[in-house]
Amino acid sequence: MADPPRARRLAKRIMAIVATAIEHEVKDPRLEFVTITDARVTNDLRDATVFYTVRGPRLDTEPDLEGAAIALEKVRGQLRTRVGAGTGVRFTPTLAFELDSVPDAARHMEELLAKARAADEEVAKVRENATYAGDPDPYRTHDEEEEEGPVDVSSDDRQN
């Protein structure tokens, strides 16, 4: 078994090789909007999982996830050959492609944060018109003691 740091280095190298090959060497138009986001290699260096995302041609159009998955399966052998040539390891790992769910999770988190911001704004609006239930400042301050003046403690006031 290989050590985990070596597997991480190999995964990083595989990610770079696959991304470069998709961008410059593979001539499939379905892969034009594919971005390689991560790669993971098993500790025995036999299998690699490459994570990818797909964006649409414009921000308001839906990405072609199915077409990208089919295109990646079609060029899997070609990409594995490039990985073997680029890494120089004895056994070239098999490649598996998996759609990355991180952008969906990030989008969900952004929606939750937007809801929290809206709730905070509502609380701030309610707070603007709110009044104190008691005195605005129920605690005596140093300034108030000086305004009253010194306390006169005379012998007549004392009771035994």
Domain limits, the chain: 4-100
Give the per-residue pLDDT at 153: 58
Contact 16, 39 (CB under 8 A): no
- DSSP alpha helix (H) spans, 40-141: 65-74, 76-87, 102-128
Indicate the pTM of the whole model.
Answer: 0.65
Q: Candidates 3.20.20.370, 3.30.300.20, 1.10.540.10, 3.30.2320.50; correct CATH number of 4-100?
A: 3.30.300.20
Give the per-residue pLDDT at 150: 58
Answer positive or negative: Cα dihedral of 82, 87, 93, 96.
negative
pLDDT exceeds 70 at position 132:
yes
Question: Using one digit for the tens of pLDDT, what is the confidence trace for 41-80?
Answer: 998 889 999 999 988 888 778 888 899 999 999 999 999 9
DSSP 8-class letter at 63: P
Q: What is the distance between the alpha carbons of residues 24 and 85, in angstroms, rounded to a whole number?
A: 16
Question: Using one digit for the tens of pLDDT, what is the confidence trace for 70-126?
Answer: 999 999 999 999 999 998 888 999 999 999 877 778 888 999 999 999 999 998 888
Taking residue 119's Cβ as centre, other Cβ atoms within 10 Å add up to 10
Mean pLDDT of 6-27: 92
Give the per-residue pLDDT at 46: 92
pLDDT exceeds 60 at position 158:
no
Token duo for residue 94: 């098999």
